[in-house]
Structure 1
Amino acid sequence: MDSTDIRILSVGTALPGPPIDNARLAERFGMPVVWQQWMETYVGTRSRHFCRDLDTGEVRYTLTDLAESAGRRALDAADLTGAEVDAVVMSTASPDALMPATVNMVADRLGIDDVPTYQLQSGCTGAVQAMEVAGRMLRTGDCRTVLVLGADSSAKHLDVTMDIRDVPPEVQINGLLFGDGAGAAVLSTLPAEAAPVLLGVFTRLIGRNRAPGQTVEWFSWGDRATADRRMPVTEDFKAVEESAPKMAIEALDDLLGRVSWTRSQVDYLLPPQLSAKMTARIVEALGLPAADPVSRVAEIGNTGNAIPFFQLEELMPRFAPGERAVGVSVEASKWIKAGYAVEVP
């Protein structure tokens, strides 16, 4: 390890409110018992957290609120203040507004100013993209410490007054799979011998000539007249089921080649968090016999850009010197694969 190594000094996460289990969703939206049974059998996600109150529709937490909480926890854990951050990179598919950028609202609350800030618009691979951008900035020597954020709120698309029994399955599935959350990590080239080192970060778009697997609309004032003819969020879950395991295997092979590790040398696997059942399928397909899977999807759902931070937070207390972990991510929007490796020196 040398001075150009990028170290993960700390991780912080935030969830809004209490968990919402499948029984609560079924009760709230008047779904039959068979719907809940299908959810538990074929999706496997038991609960998730929402920024929006299910009874009143009130938004109780903004994305800025969640990202601020996660960022503050990460900074506190690294024993740093906002004034010691050299840059901020945030990824999200659900910003509070198109302008001002949510990253700048979060930076302001954390006391961060007069530094470069970047907001990446992406889905589940966005956090890896943010880490890759932060890593490139750190390797130039212009920055020594970067705060990386990833956050999403799928509940901003949730209308608690609607009768979801009349909603197409490709829209219903989004209310089942996704939960709201935020995560943050402090990446630095400062000396920190016990801190894990981030290696081999990459993302690749592989969606040429392929229809998007997921679409999230944005309706402007001028779109209002026709917006009701379009669903705000749709997902081709069958296409995701077919493509995600293959993309995950490709991402893992690419990542292992970059860091020159074999499958038997991996101690922990941070797999894609699409749904609990899908995650289990992907873990089996990746073929890492010695690796312990680190997954949070069953209890918090697919938290989009926050996923890797929840996994890293779970990993860090158990991560011992000499151990290695790999993170794999796939995104259906326009089909992106990504990966990163972490090692404790």
Structure 2
Amino acid sequence: MYLLPDRHVSILSTGADLPGDPIDNDTLERYCGPLPDDVLQGIEVRRRHWIVDPETGEHRSGTVAMATAAARQALRRAGMEPGDIELLVVSTASPDHVLPAAGTFVQENLGLERAAVIEVRAGCVGAVQALDTARRLLADGTYRTALVIGAEAISPLLAPVYLGRDPHSVRMRDRLTLYTFGDGAAAMVLRAGEPGSAQATPLREVFATQCLGGKRKPGMLVVGGGTDAPLAEQQRRKRLMEIRLDIPGTAAFGPQVFVAGLHDMLERSGLSMDDIDACVLPEGNAEYFSSEFEASGLTAQDHAALQKSIVENLTDVGATGSAAVPLALDAGWVEGRIRPGDTVLLLAIEASRYLYAGLTLTWEAPAPTVS
């Protein structure tokens, strides 16, 4: 069998959607009580966006709506129409419905009667896994264009924790969850070139993913809405669905997962930390997290190089699951922190079962001229 050479795949543009006005920490304090200053400083989230009205709990948007808006912005910036897209790969842990897949509703919203749709059910690592899935399907010639979207709506699980309650009665561990998470979506437009073209040379595109938590209890568990117990039993719970965090476990083991992922990506790609111009992370500057990197095996030299290359926007959006890395990538590109020719490392860490996913690439897209 004759195999065609891999086609070079480019990210043409990104797009993002953050629902509603930003909710700052002072506003959140009125609803669920304060966090100690040192804890606020450690998580470094100052504002976040929710699809839920924080005062009433009313839903003002949804995962599919955000994903569609992000996709439309990415398409505008790429100078493309929805009909140009052949493949949709969507990552989310909070779809509008269990079935059909969220990507099929994005397809419908974009007016596409037919399209290939793949969905990745994951949190932070999902968008990087989705990006590599699309990249491979474009590189081997199966498709020529793709939209990759990471979208998450976590606030519907958060608001019930405090609605109708005295803010000071909310447990401190629940407040930490409330202050940490946000909602949002971001999209990337990919296109494959022709074999033999000037852009056909592979550009150190290396991917890796691992789950390091096979013998550990989950660092984050979303309980409810699944098949872990009979529906009648689930309905008797205090809350039908909720997020449970192992805060000590994630604080202790999360940095080790990050360092393991970083070392894996550098070894596979043959790059050093000094070669990375932009390291796009979901929460790389959070003090509680980054302060443990060297204790987890990162050399002081690599830690210093990492700090110079980090691209993230945790302060402005909070922890956003599947949307985290593409939102940071979008912000980095729009703000000029990621420029053509830059060597970019996307590295996502997910607390749910201590996973990482990484992808290296050479950035090609010039700064956007269309909002």
Alignment of 1:301 onto 2:307: no
Alignment of 1:264 onto 2:274: yes
User: Structure 2 residue aligned with 1:210, among 201, 210, 216?
Assistant: 216
The answer as to whether partners of 1:329 and 1:339 remain within 8 angstroms in 2 is: yes
Describe the superposition over 1:115-154 as per-residue Cα deviations: whole angstroms up to 9, x where unpaired.
Answer: 2211111111111111122122222211111110101111
My pick for the range that moved more, 267-276 or 243-252, is 267-276
User: Matches of 1:343 and 1:75 in 2, distance apart?
Assistant: 20
Describe the superposition over 1:75-104 as per-residue Cα deviations: whole angstroms up to 9, x where unpaired.
Answer: 111111121111111111111111222211
Residue of structure 2 equivalent to 1:331:
350
Alignment of 1:27 onto 2:27: no
User: Matches of 2:339 and 2:284 in 1, distance apart?
Assistant: 28
Describe the superposition over 1:30-79 as per-residue Cα deviations: whole angstroms up to 9, x where unpaired.
Answer: x25xx252442332211111111111211011111111100111111111
Relative distance call for 1:279 and 1:8 in structure 2 (3 A) is: farther
Residue of structure 2 equivalent to 1:74:
74
What is the identity, as a one-letter code, of the residue corresponding to 1:115? A
Q: Tell me the SS of whatever aligns to 1:287.
A: helix
User: Structure 2 residue aligned with 1:340, among 321, 339, 359?
Assistant: 359
User: Matches of 1:326 and 1:279 in 2, distance apart?
Assistant: 19
Q: Tell me the SS of whatever aligns to 2:291.
A: helix
Paired residues for 1:1-345 under 5 Å: 4-29=7-32, 31-32=33-34, 35=35, 37-157=37-157, 158-159=159-160, 160-163=163-166, 165-190=168-193, 199-219=205-225, 221-228=231-238, 232-273=242-283, 276-278=286-288, 280-281=290-291, 285=298, 287-289=303-305, 291-316=308-333, 317-344=336-363
Report percent identity of matched pairs.
29
For the aligned residues, what is the CA RMSD?
A: 2.5
User: Matches of 2:137 and 2:247 in 1, distance apart?
Assistant: 36
Relative distance call for 1:282 and 1:106 in structure 2 (3 A) is: farther
Q: Tell me the SS of whatever aligns to 2:20.
A: coil
The answer as to whether partners of 2:234 and 2:240 remain within 8 angstroms in 1 is: no
Relative distance call for 1:79 and 1:152 in structure 2 (3 A) is: same
Corresponding residue pairs, total: 339
- What stretches of structure 2 of length at least 5 have no aligned partner? 365-371
Relative distance call for 1:294 and 1:225 in structure 2 (3 A) is: closer
User: Matches of 2:172 and 2:284 in 1, distance apart?
Assistant: 16
Q: What is the Cα deviation at residue 319 of structure 1?
A: 3.2
What is the identity, as a one-letter code, of the residue corresponding to 2:89? V
User: Matches of 1:198 and 1:165 in 2, distance apart?
Assistant: 52
Relative distance call for 1:133 and 1:223 in structure 2 (3 A) is: farther
The answer as to whether partners of 2:224 and 2:241 remain within 8 angstroms in 1 is: no
Describe the superposition over 1:220-252 as per-residue Cα deviations: whole angstroms up to 9, x where unpaired.
Answer: 753444322776111012111111211111111
The answer as to whether partners of 1:83 and 1:113 remain within 8 angstroms in 2 is: no
What is the identity, as a one-letter code, of the residue corresponding to 1:184? A
The answer as to whether partners of 1:171 and 1:235 remain within 8 angstroms in 2 is: no
Q: Tell me the SS of whatever aligns to 1:51.
A: coil
- What stretches of structure 1 of length at least 5 have no aligned partner? none
The TM-score, its normalising length taken from structure 1, stands at 0.89
User: Matches of 1:209 and 1:230 in 2, distance apart?
Assistant: 27
User: Matches of 1:288 and 1:5 in 2, distance apart?
Assistant: 32
Describe the superposition over 1:6-35 as per-residue Cα deviations: whole angstroms up to 9, x where unpaired.
Answer: 211110000011111111111123x25xx2
Relative distance call for 1:88 and 1:230 in structure 2 (3 A) is: closer
The answer as to whether partners of 2:6 and 2:140 remain within 8 angstroms in 1 is: no
